[in-house]
Structure formats: C-alpha cells, structure tokens
Structure 1
Amino acid sequence: MDGRTTKSRTKQILDMNAFDASADLENRRGEVKRRLDNAGALSVLFYREPIEMVSAKGAWMHAANGDHYLDLYNNVPSVGHSHPRVVDAVSRQMARLNIHSRYLNSVVDDYLERLKQRLPEQLANIALTCTGSEANDLALRVAETVTGERGVIVTETAYHGNTSLTTAISPSALKKDKPPENVVAVPAPSARNYGEAIEAGFAEAISKAIKTLRSRGYGLSSCICDSIFSSDGVFADPAGFLKPVVKMVRSVGGLYIADEVQPGFARTGETFWGFERHGIEPDMVTMGKPMGNGFPMAGLAARPDHLEWFAATVGYFNTFGGNPVAAAAGAAVLDVIEDENLQAHADDVGRHLRTLLAKLSSQDTRVGTPRGAGLFVGLDLVADGDRSKPDPELATRVINGLKEERVLIGAAGPYGHTLKIRPPLCLKREEVDIFIDRLNTVMQRV
C-alpha cells in the first residue's frame, strides 16, 4: 500500500450496497428466501432488507408494500422508467416482426444510421450485441487482432463487464485474484491521487503502465476507460485530461476504447458522449445499458478496416444482437432524448443538484465536494472532518437511511464511500429538492 491508502477496506463492486445473505439469516423468508433458493450464491440483492418492486414510472419505483421510491441509482431506464414511447415502439415491433440479424430489416439499418450520426465519422461500422459486457469483450478481441498485442491498461477500480475477458480487466469485480499479468491497473484520475496535476499525473501513470507491460513481455493492445470513471468514484474533470493519454496510447501502437455504457446517451449533459467532453475521438466506442431504456441491447462502434481484420481471423455472430425489437427500442430512446431535450435537461438539473450538494458540503464536514457532469455525480463521505479519510461505514448508513426515506442510491469508489448519484435523465428539479431534503434528514440522524 502507498500513501494514498487508508485503513478503510477496499470493496468489490458487487459488495457495495448488497444484502448479506450469510450474515442476515433471519431474513431468509418470503420472497428473499425464494430468490436465494432459486439463484443461490450468484444472487445479488440490494439493502439489508431487500425491496420487492412491482412497477415504476419516470424517476419513481413502486414496491409491493405500497412504498414509492425516488430512483437516483438507475441509468438503465435512462429516459425514465416505463417511458410510454419506448413501450409503444417495442410492443408494436414485437407484434410485427422479431428476427435475428441474418435477414435484412429496415428498422435495424435506420437505427444504425441514426446512431452513426452521433459518432465520430471514422467509426462507420456498428456491431450490435445484447450487453455491455459483450460489447467490451468484442472490443478487446478486435484490439488484440488489430495490434497483435495483449496488454491492456485500466483504472484500479474499473468495471467493464462479466465475461472472462472483461472480468480480467475489471479489478472492482475481483474478490480474491488480481488482474492477470497482461493487465495493468492505474490510479483513477482524481485529486486524491494526483493533486491538482490530474492531466499530467494520469498521463504519467499510463506511461508507467506501458513500461510495466513491456517489462512483463507484453506490448499494448488497448487502454479502455469509462470516461466518467464511475466505478472509481466518478471523476469527470478537468475536461480534456484524456487527450494526452489517447496520444500516448496511439504512439506505441495501442488503441483507445471508450466505454460509454455508463456516461453515454446524454448522461453527462454538456455532450452526448462522455468522451466528447475530453475532445477526443476513440478508436472504438462501446455502449449498452441506456441504449434501449431497459430493453437488452448494446453495441461496438469501430473502424471498418479494424472489423475487417478481425472478421478475417474469426467468425462472429450474435443471435439476439441487432434484432428489430431492440432497434425499435433504441430508436425510441433517441427520439425521446431529442424531443424532450434531455441532454440540456440533464445539464441544467445536474448543475442544480451539484449546487445543493455543495451547500450541504459546506455545512457538514463529513460530506465531500460533489463532482461529475450532468446527471452523474459522485459525493464522498469522510470521517472526522478529514476528506482524506474515506468512511464506507457512514456511506452504508446513509444509503440504508435514504432507503428508509424512500430514496434509492448507489455506492462507488475503492472503499465504497462515494455516493453514486445516477438517476433517470427525466429527473426534475423538484425531485432533486426532495432528495436533498431527505439527505439532510438522514445526515442529521446518522
């Protein structure tokens, strides 16, 4: 451990905010027992007392016991739970035609052409998949084929998926093992790690990672980053700090992969994609969760020549990726983002949220300075008024306290001490005010 660490214990991503079935045996009854009996050790439930949900709309979720929860956690239904335009588009297409991608269908190509208009011109091909894990897995395979190398650089608490390849580059998912030798994890681009010189410090960390890979006998295949660094604790600024990283990666023959599964589709407010805030054009872009507003779909945008090299070595086909129902959902999401002006809305409401959180931070020494962009915000909780001391226990109490106040929120960061605020993009200013009021209530109580 180095000087940046504290006595706080690091947490894996699936442990954050999770129900502990082994320690809370008395809750093994009713629907909880039913789920654990059915799914076993791979079941992941939230909260000390899991919630049974029955419906949701907009930014609100409704439980079986009649409680209504303000959802500040979900970027999956990105334009709002049960959005009527997405529901209608999926229902109409399902009633008409749903096939795999080996048949021509204008619904799919119409969608792809619209999506490409949002992407850098060189990324003229899109491979549709079902999950972000699949998209990132494919991106890693393409990069390895194109570069002929296997080395990968990620951040220390990154999460990029749950296939074999993507789990290996997701340090936050590894409970016992470390990433394999061909993967080097660098400290997240935070002031905690690099002081005020985030751009220079992060670039130097990437440079050292390249040298480490070489010392282990690997060249660089790719550097993959979630451009909001969500699992690391949400680090968005200063905008542009990724530019020297991309330049350095390419200078040694590597590719830069932008994982937009979390920051993409207008989430960051100022731009449609997280990478756009940094003024860069990635070699590949992966996308997922918010793409279909809850309908399973994801994709990889890449250069045509890169996909040609890959296709020359191995066949690739995804049975459900690129089906017309998914394309209908995706097109409806783009319609809603455009027609409801959700990108500008996310920017406006996100600024309102960060302003109110900053006020709370100035009044409570346990609350750090909010950071992020648009409707993706990280807020550290710390001990003894010392912002260098993560307090994951406080974060756990606050998360469960907010649940009692009917607000759903997540955790992030290596210690699980960062509140991850990532609501549907339709969140209203008055709903932000509800959250702040309830957060104040909880902070006074814990």
Structure 2
Amino acid sequence: MRKKLIGQSCRLFFSEDPVKIVRARGQYLYDENGTRYLDCISNVQHVGHCHPAVTKAAAAQMELLNTNSRFLHDNIVHYADRLSASLPDKLCVFYFVNSGSEANDLALRLARQYSQHEDVIVLEHAYHGHLTSLIDISPYKFRKLGGQKEWVHVAPLPDTYRGRYQEDHVDPAQGYADTVKDLIEEVHKKGRKISAFFAESLPSVGGQIILPSGYCQKVAECCQSLTPAKLYVHAAGGVFVADEVQTGFGRVGSHFWGFQLQGEDFCPDIVTMGKPMGNGHPLACVATTQEIAGAFTANGVEYFNTFGGNPVSCAIGLAVLDVLEEENLQGNAYKVGGYLKDLLRGLKAKHAIIGDVRGAGLFVGMELVTDRKERTPATEAAAELVRRLKNEQICISTDGPGENVVKFKPPMCFSAADAELVAEKIDHILTETSCPRQLNGMQTPGLGDNCCS
C-alpha cells in the first residue's frame, strides 16, 4: 500500500528491510511483534517518545481550545517569554511557525528585508529545508539537482578533520573565516551584496561537524584594527543566521544552544529552531532582534501563520521546556554524551577503521575511513555497520559528504547503559568484520584485532 499510495521519493529508514514501528516510549521503539529497538536517530522526540507530561499537556489544551494565533491567548506569550530567557538579550522578538523549513524561509525573508540585499552565503554540504527557497541555499540538495543560483555563494565547510584547514593548522577558525571574507569580496566585485550568512550551528548533514572555536564570531564581525578593514558579514551589510533546527534545546550539553559553543561574545542576528521544540509535534520558531523585526514590519505587508503559535502547540512547547528542566536532560546530554564519546574513542584505539570521533553532548559523529592517513571515506563499511546494528535492534544512520559518518542524535533521555550497549555492539561488529575482505575495501585491520582469524 505504501508503494502504491506514497511518493517513492519519501524514503524509509532501512529501505531494504524496513521496520514497522507501532509504539514508542522514551528512547525505545517497538515493532508490531513487540521487538524493542534502541533509538539513536530520533532527535525530534527530544525529551523521549510519548513523554506523559507532553501528551497530557497536548490533550488538556486540545480539549479546551485550539484556534488561530491572531486571537489573544496566554500560551504564545508565556512560551515566547520562556524562550527569551534562554537566549541573549538582543534576541527578543519571536515568530512561531510549524517546521524548521518554514523558520528558515522566514529567516531568509527577514534578512533580505533588513539588509535590502539578496545574496546569501552558505556552507558546503549544508541543508536548511525542503522549500524551494531553501533547496536554493542547500548545496546538499542543489548539487544533486544540477543548479546553483547566481545569488547563492558557497563557503568551505569548516571541517577540521578532512577540510582545507585541519586540526594541525595554527588557527583553523581564522582560516575558514577568511574564506568567507574572500567570498564576500568576490561577490562585491560582481556588483552584488550579501543579505545573510546562513549556517547550522553544528552542521549535521555535513557530517556532525563541530565548528572551530571563534569561527562564527570572526565570520560575523569586521576586524576594525586592520587597515583597510576586512569585510566580513556585518561589515558587508549582512546578518548572521544560526540554524538551530537540529541542535538547540540543550542537545550539546554544556549549553542550551549550539551557537553558544562559540563563546559568550558571539550572538547571531537571527536564530531558527524547530525539530525538538514540540517533541514530535510540528512546532518551530524564528528569534531575532527588534531592529530586524522592525524592518520586516515596515514593509507594510502583514505576516500571519494560521497554525504557528496556536494554543496546543505552545502548551506542548511549554511542557517540553518543563521536562528539560525537571529531568535535567541538558545535564544528562553532557554527562552521557561525554561518556559515549569516551567509549567510541576507546573503540578508535582498537579499530583502525574509525578515523575520528567528534561531538558535543548527544550530538556525536564517528567517521569511518579505509585509510587513516588518506582519510578515505569507508562508505560501504558504514552502511554495513548500520545494517548490522539494526539487526541488533539499534536504529542508527549515516551522514556526511561520503555517507561514512555514523551519527548519534538520540532522545535526550539516552542513558549510560544505552551508550555501553551501542559501543559493545559496534565493537563486536567491527571485530567480526576486521578482515579487509569483509570490510568493503578496508586496507588495515582493526588495531589489536587478529585479521582473518
């Protein structure tokens, strides 16, 4: 029935042998036979699948009222007030929408109205959503479709593992920031102007990338001490948009927002948020400054969103914030995420196919390579690992330009015992497949393993 009725581009997880999930709770999924799977994929179900406090809040508000946000209601302003407390003071105006794609599309409109410019700078392999406007600024998509708009400019992904400036570079943050400066100068030579620099605070589709510290601040600001001053985003008249659709709401552990990893002196001009906000309910938001919001209002065109910010959505959003605080899930992300990275780094010392382990909180990537020196993506081996883990009742997936980064973005209630189970199963699978003939082109057996034994 699915093949007949649903568009075939809407792909399933584990498409060769898909799983039919009929219920879920916490970090666990259950199929129609009652088999339990550990969910390492669903960062949308942020505080855990079907959290009782969230479902209770949703049902209670739905029984009472759900209507257009153009009527006065307490929930929308209470929720905006709670969100504002987690953000820098200047990010104090909120627009509620229904998805991360809607949020990023609105951020693009805000940036263009405020700057009165059109062009956008994005990072290589970025993904910002499925609307036409966002496909246009998502190299991950438009590279496959064979077209880059003249107003879109692509900067190198600040990947210190396999990018232009790697971990041994004296200042990778400055190096990558200067690639943006150079790009802006090229744009100006063409007689064009920048409206925005768009970046995920931690690029996910790009391969679970942790941006070098200080990169965002350097990209945003003009170095006035230099003569002549170098043009970065603000000096070029543009705004900095931080896409937090994947990484916000405490996932990075040490901070509530991913952009805060860049330091206290960095604040984006616009922040977009989505997936985790509603714990699976469609809820998203754009936060920005009074100045940018004022320019958007001044265009004379009313903005409204029929469902964005409705009483039920905001009741759910408030419940998610309550659960995050009451169950200290940000603290759990910091503790368990750190433990998971330690376990995976232990596996790296044992298995040569693991080239890098990186992450923050419960946003973790394990990159598989066929050769550590060349850092050649072990794409097939990564796909095989995902397939084998699924057979062990662990749901996980891959990302990155080479589809060789095994990514971990589980619900925030993920436990230390869950981390141990995942590491144990990965170790077992990599040990079993440590022979080069079994690892789809792997050149070196796992360190400490007996090849072909």
Give yes or no for TM over 0.5: yes
The equivalent of 1:111 in structure 2 is: 79
Aligned-residue sequence identity (percent) comes to 40
- Contact 2:128–2:135 under 8 Å retained in 1: yes
Q: Does 1:74 align with 2:50?
A: no
Q: CA deviation at 1:237?
A: 4.7
Give the alignment of 1:37-48 within 5 angstroms.
37-47=4-14, 48=16
Alpha-carbon distance in structure 1 between the residues aligned to 2:350 and 2:176? 31
Q: CA-to-partner distance for each residue in 1:165-216, whole Å, 9 max, x for gaps?
A: 1111111123222331111122211122112332022101111221232244
- Contact 1:36–1:43 under 8 Å retained in 2: no
Give the alignment of 1:261-300 within 5 angstroms.
261-279=245-263, 280-300=266-286
Q: Does 1:417 align with 2:386?
A: no
- Contact 1:257–1:286 under 8 Å retained in 2: yes
Give the alignment of 1:31-42 within 5 angstroms.
34-42=1-9
Kindly provide the amino acid, as one letter, of the partner of residue 206 in structure 1: V
Kindly provide the amino acid, as one letter, of the partner of residue 261 in structure 1: V
Out of 21, 24, 38, which is 1:56 matched to? 24
Q: Does 1:355 align with 2:342?
A: yes
The alignment's C-alpha RMSD in Å is 1.3
The equivalent of 1:331 in structure 2 is: 318
The 3-state SS of whatever aligns with 1:127 is: strand
- Contact 1:171–1:178 under 8 Å retained in 2: no
The 3-state SS of whatever aligns with 1:285 is: strand
- Contact 1:237–1:372 under 8 Å retained in 2: no
Give the alignment of 1:124-139 within 5 angstroms.
124-139=92-107
Alpha-carbon distance in structure 2 between the residues aligned to 1:374 and 1:387? 28
Q: Does 1:198 align with 2:172?
A: yes
The equivalent of 2:413 in structure 1 is: 426
Q: CA deviation at 1:222?
A: 0.4
Unaligned runs of 5+ in 1: 1-33
- Contact 1:74–1:424 under 8 Å retained in 2: yes
- Contact 1:368–1:387 under 8 Å retained in 2: no
Q: CA deviation at 1:344?
A: 1.2
Q: CA deviation at 1:320?
A: 0.5
Q: CA-to-partner distance for each residue in 1:135-185, whole Å, 9 max, x for gaps?
A: 000000110111111111111111101111111111112322233111112
The equivalent of 1:23 in structure 2 is: none
Q: CA-to-partner distance for each residue in 1:72-100, whole Å, 9 max, x for gaps?
A: 11110011111111111111111111011
Q: CA-to-partner distance for each residue in 1:382-429, whole Å, 9 max, x for gaps?
A: 114445101111111111111111111121111111111111111000
Q: CA deviation at 1:249?
A: 0.9
Alpha-carbon distance in structure 1 between the residues aligned to 2:319 and 2:44? 14
Out of 328, 331, 348, which is 1:341 matched to? 328
- Contact 1:35–1:43 under 8 Å retained in 2: no
Q: Does 1:185 align with 2:154?
A: yes
Q: TM-score, normalised by structure 1?
A: 0.90
The 3-state SS of whatever aligns with 2:318 is: helix
Alpha-carbon distance in structure 2 between the residues aligned to 1:204 and 1:385? 28
- Contact 1:142–1:307 under 8 Å retained in 2: yes
Give the alignment of 1:309-324 within 5 angstroms.
309-313=295-299, 314-324=301-311
Please identify which structure carries the higher helix content. 1
Out of 168, 177, 181, which is 1:207 matched to? 181
Alpha-carbon distance in structure 1 between the residues aligned to 2:26 and 2:97? 26
Q: 1:217 to 1:401 in 2, by over 3 A?
A: farther
Q: Does 1:250 align with 2:250?
A: no
Q: CA deviation at 1:243?
A: 1.4
Q: Which has the larger radius of gyration?
A: 2
Alpha-carbon distance in structure 2 between the residues aligned to 1:209 and 1:406? 46
Alpha-carbon distance in structure 1 between the residues aligned to 2:419 and 2:374? 25
Alpha-carbon distance in structure 2 between the residues aligned to 1:81 and 1:405? 20
Alpha-carbon distance in structure 2 between the residues aligned to 1:143 and 1:420? 31
Unaligned runs of 5+ in 2: 222-231, 434-453
- Contact 1:156–1:171 under 8 Å retained in 2: yes
Kindly provide the amino acid, as one letter, of the partner of residue 45 in structure 2: P
Give the alignment of 1:298-309 within 5 angstroms.
298-309=284-295
- Contact 1:59–1:427 under 8 Å retained in 2: yes
- Contact 2:355–2:375 under 8 Å retained in 1: no
Alpha-carbon distance in structure 1 between the residues aligned to 2:107 and 2:424? 43
Q: Does 1:259 align with 2:243?
A: yes
Q: Does 1:375 align with 2:362?
A: yes
Q: CA deviation at 1:229?
A: 1.1
Kindly provide the amino acid, as one letter, of the partner of residue 302 in structure 1: T
Q: CA deviation at 1:108?
A: 1.6
- Contact 1:157–1:172 under 8 Å retained in 2: yes
Alpha-carbon distance in structure 2 between the residues aligned to 1:41 and 1:179? 25
- Contact 2:173–2:213 under 8 Å retained in 1: no
The equivalent of 1:221 in structure 2 is: 195
Alpha-carbon distance in structure 2 between the residues aligned to 1:177 and 1:307? 35
Alpha-carbon distance in structure 1 between the residues aligned to 2:374 and 2:413? 32
Out of 124, 130, 147, which is 1:156 matched to? 124
The equivalent of 1:16 in structure 2 is: none
- Contact 1:59–1:423 under 8 Å retained in 2: yes
Kindly provide the amino acid, as one letter, of the partner of residue 148 in structure 1: Q
Kindly provide the amino acid, as one letter, of the partner of residue 281 in structure 2: F
